[in-house]
């Protein structure tokens, strides 16, 4: 049989990767976890992997290993169901990923990798000394990402705006390989996630782990959250600012009580009419966020490291099976 005429064997429907880095914020939940929950509810055959190999560009292996267990426990506490979403660790298919990355690297030039926007930006903003110390994994990041996606023969990948170029490289590598050796990899469709612009509570920049005073962490003490919201910058009467819109988005997105939702709308009308209701709004905002965080912390406390290891063990079996099939198909095309 002519290998070039065989059809592509599709793998997982949707694949999402997460980096194991520190505690999650409410912004991480809305931007990264909520989209997976929606796909899970829609019955999509989703796969979630922890990108612990990618994390080695900036973290030590021991540190990354510790974060892996924590981030999976967090995601499960937030509603990711391992019975509906396959969860595995990138390093559990490290050998297969490395093999595929080696073959894919033959189909992209050094010049193309140097033009990758994230690498170009780093080269322009970092000092010469830091660039000299940067490891080669940073340079190979787009090819490693392509290997992750193509190894599972993923049909679609949800990505944020900053990852669109990397997914285009994945599609380019799949098409180049297919053109030369015959249909092997699906060129994964782009599912671009609309970026949620949640601003820091203090008003400077976006809500981020790197700016803890303006962020709300899911693991945070309740009194600390109350203090942060009390100090949060809002807007003067009748004014709608990006900061105020961000607070409204956060409150409405986390709100689980219909009466609280109605009260948000009522306070917004009063605010636009020039009434001084920001104190009342911040109390309601605190109530909504604290209720969400307390619910998360209660569920998170019940999840053990042993449970997470069992989830990852089961996920690794499926990931390895898919990976072995992919490499078998690829080698049949090559040899």
| Residue 125's pLDDT band (cuts 50, 70, 90) | low
Distance CA 279, CA 81 (A): 38
pLDDT in tens, 22-63: 789 999 899 889 888 988 888 888 899 999 988 887 778 888
Whole-number pLDDT of residue 123: 64
pTM of the model: 0.87
> Mean pLDDT throughout 282-289?
96
The yes-or-no verdict on residue 278 having pLDDT over 60 is yes
> Mean pLDDT throughout 234-239?
92
What integer best gives the mean pLDDT of the chain? 89
pLDDT-wise least confident of 82-96, 111-125, 169-183: 111-125
The yes-or-no verdict on residue 7 having pLDDT over 80 is no
> Mean pLDDT throughout 301-329?
96
Whole-number pLDDT of residue 122: 65
Contacts of 110 (CB under 8 A, 6+ apart): none
Q: Label each residue of the chain as H, E or C.
A: CCHHHCCCCCCCCEEEEECCCCCCEHHHHHHHHHHHHHHHHCCCCEEEEECCCHHHHCCCHHHHHHHHHHHHHHHHHCCCCCCCEEEEEHHHHHHHHHHHHHHHHCCCCHHHHHCCHHHHHHHHHCCHHHHHHCCHHHHHHHHHHHHHHHHCCCCEEEECHHHHHHHHHHHHHHHHHHHHHCCCCCCCEEEECCCCCCECCCCCCECCCCCHHHCCECCCCHHHHHHHHHCCCCCCCCCCCHHHHHHHHHHHHHCCCHHHHHHHHHHHHHHHCCCCCHHHHHHHHHHHHHHHHHHHHHHHCCCCHHHHHHHHHHHHHHHHHHHHHHHHHHHHHHC
pLDDT in tens, 204-222: 788 988 788 899 999 999 9
The yes-or-no verdict on residue 124 having pLDDT over 80 is no
Whole-number pLDDT of residue 1: 45
The yes-or-no verdict on residue 300 having pLDDT over 70 is yes
Distance CA 48, CA 28 (A): 15
- The distance of Cα 29 from the centroid of its chain, to the nearest Å, equals 9
The yes-or-no verdict on residue 177 having pLDDT over 90 is yes
pLDDT in tens, 52-95: 988 887 778 888 888 899 999 999 999 999 999 999 999 999 99
Whole-number pLDDT of residue 131: 57
> Among all chains, which residue has been given the structure tokens 């193509």?
150
Whole-number pLDDT of residue 74: 95
Whole-number pLDDT of residue 251: 95
> Mean pLDDT throughout 316-331?
95
> Mean pLDDT throughout 110-137?
72
The yes-or-no verdict on residue 195 having pLDDT over 70 is no
> Mean pLDDT throughout 176-205?
86
């Amino acid at each position: 049989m002519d290998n070039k005429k065989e059809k592509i064997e599709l793998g997982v429907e949707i694949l999402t990767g997460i980096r194991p880095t520190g505690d999650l914020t409410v912004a991480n939940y809305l931007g990264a976890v909520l989209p997976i929950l929606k796909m899970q509810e829609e019955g999509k055959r989703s796969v979630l992997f922890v990108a612990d190999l990618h994390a080695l560009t900036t973290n030590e292996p021991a540190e990354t290993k510790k974060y892996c267990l924590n981030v999976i426990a967090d995601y499960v506490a937030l509603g990711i169901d391992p019975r509906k979403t396959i969860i595995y660790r990138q390093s559990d298919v490290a050998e297969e990923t490395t093999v595929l990355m080696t073959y894919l690297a033959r189909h992209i030039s050094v010049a193309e990798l140097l033009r990758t926007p994230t690498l170009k930006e780093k080269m322009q903003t970092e000092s010469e000394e830091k660039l000299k110390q940067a490891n080669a994994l940073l340079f190979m990041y787009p090819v490693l990402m392509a290997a992750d996606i193509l190894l599972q023969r993923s049909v679609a990948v949800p990505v944020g705006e900053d990852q669109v170029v990397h997914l285009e490289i994945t599609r380019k590598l799949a098409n180049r390989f297919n053109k030369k050796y015959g249909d092997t990899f699906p060129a994964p469709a782009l599912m671009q996630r609309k970026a949620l612009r949640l601003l820091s509570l203090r008003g400077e920049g976006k809500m981020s782990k790197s700016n803890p005073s303006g962020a709300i962490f899911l693991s945070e003490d309740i009194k600390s959250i109350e203090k942060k919201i009390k100090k949060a910058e809002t807007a003067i009467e009748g004014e709608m600012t990006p900061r105020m819109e961000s607070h409204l988005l956060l409150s409405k997105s986390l709100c689980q009580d219909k009466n609280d939702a109605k009260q948000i709308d009522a306070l917004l009308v009063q605010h636009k009419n020039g009434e001084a209701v920001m104190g009342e709004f911040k109390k309601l905002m605190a109530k909504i966020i604290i209720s969400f965080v307390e619910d998360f912390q209660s569920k998170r406390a019940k999840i053990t490291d042993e449970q997470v290891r069992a989830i990852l063990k089961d996920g690794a079996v499926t990931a390895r099976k898919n990976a072995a099939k992919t490499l078998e198909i690829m080698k049949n095309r090559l040899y």
